[in-house]
Structure 1
Amino acid sequence: MPEEYGRDMVLPLNSYDDVEDAVDMVQFAEELGYGYVSMGETSGRSIPIVMGLLAERTDEIGITDDVLSPYSRTPSTLGQTAATLQELSGGRFRLRIGASSPALAERWHGVDFERPLRQVREAVEIVRQVQSGDRLDYDGDFFSPEGMAFEGPVPEEPAPVDVAALGPKSVEMAGRFADGWVPQLLTVEAIEERMEDLKRGAELGDRSVDDVRVSLNFRCGALEDGERARQYARQHVAFMVALYGPYYRKAIADAGWEDVTEEVRARWHDGDREGAYEAVPDELLDELVAAGTPEKAREQVERFEAIDGLDTVQVSFFGPMGEEERRETLEHLAPE
């Protein structure tokens, strides 16, 4: 079974031309003692298929996604996916649900990005019904499946259902309904504030916040060439601010960096990529990511791990990094 409390890793699946190379990377992380591997899905490979392959080709590492959404698959399909991957992995799977982004919902899936908070909540509840094996009976604002039941083997231990969220209301919802919360690109202070939202949600759900696994998706570059790692970090943060959905930009702006986010976005959309990179100051990097020499990166990871209520940091990478640099980072930040 996976290590629930330690360090996890994020597989940049679309960086690999050959899926076998991605499998090798996950096996490498398993040897280093990482607890879970997660991967995201945009318009590339269908990750449930890849997760099924990883379930067969690994023994101990947990498997999860970052994230699947009710805009890309119906909640009932998400429930089927959770039950099937829980079976294939021998109980090592967690399902993560999130709203994703308006761009993916509307431009790739061709659906309206409407009331994401409500749709995510309904998806969490329906996934639980599917995994119970009972006939579905759900009357939601968006989804109302009824009268049919999952026909496969019902998991002895249903796959936990986590929620990826940033805003206060969505984090409260995670605390109230989900088994875990997955934040990213938040400062220490912002995470601590959101922990209060998570606790409030848990209280509303008449449950303990200690039962909600908090896993931070944390971008890392731990390289002997520390300046190279920091340049990768600038490029990645600039990309996230300029293009990767409005939620991340707003979260960084709300942490006191609104002027920086506006400048980065303006320069990027004016075609000045280098200027956008340069507009990301060292101080912001130190608040959001772990980038630099192995010693500096470890210090940053440990600073976030010290947050009360945070269960695990999942080591993610900066987009421009190569495979050798990703492996070097995994080695330097491996769980002790």
Structure 2
Amino acid sequence: MTADHDSLDSLAARARRAERLGFGRVSAGETTGWEMVSAFTVVGERTERIGISTDVLSPYARAPTVLAQAALTMHDATDGRFRLGLGTSSPAIAEGWHGEPFDRPLRRLRETIDIIREVYADGDVTYDGEVFDVGGLSYDRPVPEQPPGIDVAALGPKATELVGRFADGWVPQLFTPDGLADRMADLRRGADLGDRSVDDVRVTPIVRTVSDEDRERARAQARSMVAFLVGAYGPFYGDSVAEQGYPEVVEEIRTAWEEDRDTEAMAAALPDELLDQLAAAGTPEDVRERLERHRSVDGVDAIRVGFASGMNAAQKEAIMEAVAPLL
């Protein structure tokens, strides 16, 4: 999250702090705030070891060839520490911000990955797809032997299968440990269809995390964030949580949003049991225990610790310090 930063200096300082604490990677999303490729160029210049990822860039916002250019530029700027994070985003962002109809999102994502792979291969692109028709020009810089990995944020079975077939990493969010384990079957099926090993797909789920010695204050902040994602942040998170066995909870949260924009009622509708399955909230000890549950799911390579909306710098520092013993 970058909303609490008023300068690129501040953003880079947090990345340096994460590097000192031993975190392996930093990432941030891109919606209507900073353009994150440019911002992370500064982070790459001012750090030495920590990996850098985008969460996530939309194929409705940039042409596939431009995404490939951005990834290769970041590869050079970070000495090979960059991974390109993609995702279909949502109708609200695609249509309300990028001015593109949210049409055939999975097909667009698949073709975007194909074209990036062509640029990665030798710089030449000749692609005649259902969404994109690209050809006639080439990337005019040397292409590295090991170009940036392509991670995809995906929730549903078909999208996760696509990741297994074509991408290098899977970034799920708002999954319970059991739900995450179940969805792994779709990732494995995709890898089989692509004649690949699922072990070659880096699985790094995002777990929203709030740490505070005041357990109830931390849980209240996490509850508000998770409820908003489930009920108001497009249809996909809510649909995914409903499919994991909580359709009545999702319906109640959505009703509170659709009828009255009542965020307090939304949070109240999220039971403790589900909060503890989807997020890591409470004291530092609570947070570490809940993150470990997600990390122990078979096939998970690492956990992405996600902040909650509205956090200040001190709260984010508290989370980083709480998680550091797990590194």
| TM-score using structure 2 length | 0.97
Partner of 2:289: 299
Moved more, 314-323 or 76-85: 314-323
Gap runs ≥5 in structure 2: none
Q: Is the 8 A contact 2:4 2:311 kept in 1?
A: no
- CA distance in 1 between partners of 2:266 and 2:310 (Å): 15
Gap runs ≥5 in structure 1: 1-11
Residue type of the alignment partner of 1:13: T
Shift of 1:31: 0.5
Moved more, 80-89 or 234-243: 234-243
Partner of 2:251: 262
Shift of 1:156: 3.1
Matched, 1:321 2:316: no
SS in 1 for 2:303: strand
- CA distance in 1 between partners of 2:4 and 2:253 (Å): 25
**For 1:1-336, what aligned pairs fall within 5 Å after superposition?**
12-269=1-258, 270-334=260-324, 335-336=326-327
- CA distance in 2 between partners of 1:170 and 1:228 (Å): 35
Shift of 1:49: 0.1
Shift of 1:257: 1.4
Q: 1:271-330 CA distances to partner (integer Å, 9 max, x unpaired)?
A: 322222211111110110000011111110001110000000011111132211111111
Q: Identity over aligned residues, as a percent?
A: 48
- CA distance in 2 between partners of 1:230 and 1:268 (Å): 20
- CA distance in 2 between partners of 1:259 and 1:120 (Å): 31
**How many residue pairs end up in the alignment?**
325
- CA distance in 2 between partners of 1:206 and 1:14 (Å): 41
- CA distance in 2 between partners of 1:264 and 1:206 (Å): 41
Q: 1:59-110 CA distances to partner (integer Å, 9 max, x unpaired)?
A: 0000110001110101010000111100110000000111000100011111
Residue type of the alignment partner of 1:153: P
Residue type of the alignment partner of 2:300: L
Q: Is the 8 A contact 2:123 2:140 kept in 1?
A: no
Residue type of the alignment partner of 2:286: K
- CA distance in 2 between partners of 1:292 and 1:14 (Å): 23
Residue type of the alignment partner of 2:177: V
Q: 1:175-218 CA distances to partner (integer Å, 9 max, x unpaired)?
A: 01111111000111111111111111111111110000001111
Q: Is the 8 A contact 1:236 1:320 kept in 2?
A: no
- CA distance in 1 between partners of 2:122 and 2:214 (Å): 53
Shift of 1:54: 0.8
Residue type of the alignment partner of 2:226: V
Moved more, 148-157 or 296-305: 148-157
Q: Is the 8 A contact 1:221 1:290 kept in 2?
A: yes
Q: Is the 8 A contact 1:222 1:333 kept in 2?
A: no
Q: Is the 8 A contact 2:8 2:42 kept in 1?
A: no
Higher relative contact order, chain-length normalized (CA < 8 Å, sep 6+): 1
| TM-score using structure 1 length | 0.94
- CA distance in 2 between partners of 1:271 and 1:316 (Å): 24
- CA distance in 1 between partners of 2:261 and 2:195 (Å): 50
Q: Is the 8 A contact 1:162 1:180 kept in 2?
A: yes
Q: Is the 8 A contact 1:130 1:150 kept in 2?
A: yes
Q: Is the 8 A contact 2:123 2:143 kept in 1?
A: no
Moved more, 71-80 or 222-231: 222-231
Residue type of the alignment partner of 1:167: G
Shift of 1:132: 2.5
Q: Is the 8 A contact 1:87 1:155 kept in 2?
A: no
